[in-house]
Amino acid sequence: MPSLRALLAGGHAPAAVLTQPDRPAGRGRKPRPSPVKAVAIEHDIPVLQPRSLKSAAVQAQLREFAPELMVVVAYGLLLPPAVLELPRRGCINVHASLLPRWRGAAPIQAALLAGDTKTGVCLMQLEEGLDTGPVLARTVASIGPRETAGELHDRLADLGAQLLADRLDAILAGTLPAEAQAADGVSYAPRINKSDARLDWQRSAEELDRQVRAYSGWPVADTLLDGQQLRVWRAEPSEVTSSAPPGTVTGIDNAGVLVQTGNGQLRLLELQAAGRSRTSALEFARGRELAGKRLGT
């Protein structure tokens, strides 16, 4: 959405906007349009919502627009060769990493999980390979020590929109040189599964803290308490020491619930029991005998 708004603000209203089909949302599970679709409708831009771009009919529809350029931002659908070849200036992707590091579907989460201290946004020429195309422009950003995936996502979305706005005229004119990605330093960020968010208490407090922050928006880090799912929305490493087995709740201090890990303790700050609302860990602990319990079993 920030990239679409940047195009509109710069006088480059798209001939059409493609976004995925409306998804069921809310308690009633009624189809809800994406924010991108809402902005497009607000500006009277035609909206296409194909489930795939592989059909000849969809490709013929796109061809009728005679596009000069296609801008792809977190679209989530594969662009087949026939679509990549449609625009005169090709297809460019606003990608949230410093390529070739973190090619793939979840670069923001991957950067946090790895403990990276910097990331950024690249404008990349799309080709058939997975994020392998040459880079037209990039901007670097630091990662805050307590930053979550949602916070970093929003910051990079704005940086990417600004980079797109700054370079678009040069891209359309064909005057912005493309730089091939380095062969060294390639890493991949695969699509996230819900199971990726399960906390393994044998790991260190630092690793588990990064996991909680990486999955803070979706699917949210979780563990088991008395056999029931317990979601961990916020946590932080603690300097308190203990010799208890990993996963053991060692106590409660004035900030949260302390749990022993494979190395150090993790302080749980915000929790959510199955079927309940999010709450502070202190509120969650009130009236519960948590000390000595083992999480994850």
- The residue among 216, 218, 233, 293 whose CA lies nearest residue 269 is 233
207 and 272 share one domain: yes
15 and 52 share one domain: yes
- Residue 297: inside a domain, yes or no? no
CA angle 147, 153, 159 (to 5 degrees): 110
Total domains, the chain: 2
Position 27 scores a pLDDT of 79
Please name every residue paired with 270 in a beta bridge, in sequence order, or none if there are none: 234, 280
The model's pTM: 0.95
pLDDT in tens, 208-255: 999 999 999 899 999 999 999 999 999 999 999 899 999 999 999 999
Position 26 scores a pLDDT of 79
Q: Which domain holds residue 48?
A: 2-189
36 and 178 share one domain: yes
69 and 136 share one domain: yes
Position 157 scores a pLDDT of 98
Q: Which of 168, 189, 210 is the last residue of a domain?
A: 189
Position 297 scores a pLDDT of 81
Residues in the chain where the model's pLDDT stays below 70 = none
Q: What are the CA-CA distances from residue 239 to residues 2, 134, 189, 265 (Å)?
A: 40, 45, 31, 7
- Cα Rg of the chain (Å, integer): 22
Position 108 scores a pLDDT of 98
- Residue 202: inside a domain, yes or no? yes
Strands (E) located in 60-210: 70-72, 91-95, 103-104, 118-125, 135-142, 188-189
Position 50 scores a pLDDT of 96
CB 166 within 8 A of CB 158: no
Query: What is the Cα–Cα distance from 214 to 106, expressed in whole angstroms?
Result: 10
Query: What is the Cα–Cα distance from 221 to 203, expressed in whole angstroms?
Result: 14
